[in-house]
Each structure stands twice: as structure tokens, then as C-alpha cells.
């Protein structure tokens, strides 16, 4: 019986890993070092933390898992997830946990295989949007925008993630009334 529990737990860990490693927001955060020099290690640790969270808490609801993932992304990668992917990721992890608990291991393995194929197909990429012309850039105070493309489907990342791509310049920063700092592109 202990071997079955161990293999179920390991299969669930593989499932969590597959879900998180195909999550565009986490991919972008790791690829761009939002978690510092140990971003990749933090992503691996996150897999273990999510697995442990499920095994330490009984009857987790999807919104609890969303909150936990959101806190991890905020605390470890300084990233607020507002692209709508958080409920989907939480749902996938919850479904895998339930399937593991019900002994539906073949279904979990199939889901992991599908996610691995998706992962092999391509990673999310951040590409800057081209500005119209250099002359217009000199005459206007445009903010650079970012697009996120995933193989097969588009994904968006929060403005905080997009803004991290631009190095802040001290003289161009302006403090607004609401306490936010506006970072403008250098001329």
C-alpha cells in the first residue's frame, strides 16, 4: 500500500511540474530572471511547494489554490498574474489531484503526456511591438508595449511584467498623485 501512495504522490508531482512548466507566465518570469539568479530553482521549488500544499491540506477549493499560486508568483518572482490564466492552472492541478486520489492514474499520465507535447512544441516568448518610425518616437512620449506569444495561442502578462522589461531611467520618472511612478521611454 505504501508503494501505491508513493507512486501516486510522485505522479501528482509530475503532473504539477507539467502544468507549471507549460504556464506562460511562469515561463516568462523564469526566462527573464524575475526571481533573480535563482529563478529556475525557484520554479522547481514551486512544484514541490504546490505538491506539499495539496498533501498538507484536505479538501482544497480551486480559489484557495489560485490564491496560493498567486502568492508564490508575487513573493518569489515579484509578478502579479492578471492574464486570466491563474484559474485555469489551479483547475488543472486540482483535477490532477482528484484523479490521483481516485486512482485514475492512466488519465493523469495521459494529461501529463499532452502537457509535455505542448511544452515541446514551444515556449512562451516576449517580443517588443515595433514602433511606427523613429521620427514619431522623438516627437511623442510613447510607452513601449509588449506582446506575449505562445505556440498556438496568445497569452498576456500583467503590466507589471511588461514594465520590468524596460530599464527605469531616473530623470524620466514622474510621481503621480496616486503614488505610482510612470516610467517613460528615453528619447
Residue boundaries of the structural domains of the chain:
2-121, 128-182
Q: What is the pLDDT of residues 94-141, one digit of tens each?
A: 999 999 999 999 999 999 999 988 877 765 555 555 545 444 444 444
Listed in sequence order, the residues at least 6 apart from 93 whose beta carbon sits closer than 8 Å to its beta carbon are 15, 16, 19, 50, 54, 65
Q: What angle do CA 104, 108, 114 make, to 5 degrees?
A: 150
Question: What pLDDT, on the 0 to 100 scale, is given for residue 92?
Answer: 95
Question: pLDDT tens across 48-103, in order?
Answer: 999 999 999 988 999 999 999 999 999 999 999 999 999 999 999 999 999 999 99
pLDDT of residue 123: 55
Higher pLDDT, 58 or 33: 33
pLDDT at position 57: 92
By C-alpha distance, which of 83, 103, 105, 101 is closest to 26?
Answer: 83
Reported confidence tier of residue 185, pLDDT bands at 50, 70, 90: confident
Q: What pLDDT is attached to residue 32?
A: 94
pLDDT at 128: 52
Q: In whole angstroms, what separates CA 44 from the centre of its chain? A: 13
What gap in Å lies between CA 60 and CA 154, rounded to an integer?
Answer: 30
Give the whole-angstrom CA distance, residue 54 versus residue 94: 9
Antiparallel, parallel or unpaired: β 146-150 and 153-154: antiparallel
Q: Dihedral of the CA atoms 112, 81, 70, 66 (nearest 10)?
A: -60
Amino acid at each position: 500500500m505504501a508503494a501505491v501512495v508513493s507512486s501516486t504522490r510522485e505522479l501528482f508531482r509530475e503532473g504539477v511540474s507539467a502544468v507549471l512548466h507549460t504556464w506562460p507566465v511562469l515561463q516568462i518570469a523564469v526566462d527573464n530572471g524575475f526571481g533573480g539568479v535563482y529563478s529556475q530553482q525557484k520554479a522547481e521549488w514551486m512544484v514541490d511547494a504546490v505538491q506539499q500544499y495539496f498533501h498538507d491540506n484536505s479538501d482544497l477549493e480551486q480559489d484557495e489554490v489560485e490564491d496560493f499560486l498567486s502568492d508564490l508568483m508575487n513573493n518569489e518572482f515579484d509578478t502579479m498574474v492578471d492574464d486570466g490564466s491563474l484559474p485555469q492552472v489551479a483547475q488543472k492541478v486540482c483535477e490532477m489531484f482528484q484523479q490521483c486520489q481516485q486512482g485514475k492514474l492512466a488519465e493523469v499520465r495521459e494529461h501529463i503526456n499532452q502537457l509535455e507535447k505542448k511544452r515541446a512544441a514551444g515556449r512562451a516568448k516576449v517580443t517588443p511591438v515595433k514602433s511606427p518610425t523613429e521620427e514619431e518616437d522623438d516627437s511623442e512620449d510613447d510607452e513601449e508595449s509588449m506582446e506575449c506569444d505562445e505556440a498556438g495561442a496568445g497569452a498576456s502578462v500583467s503590466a507589471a511584467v511588461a514594465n520590468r522589461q524596460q530599464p527605469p531611467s531616473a530623470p524620466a520618472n514622474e510621481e503621480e498623485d496616486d503614488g505610482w511612478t510612470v516610467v517613460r521611454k528615453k528619447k
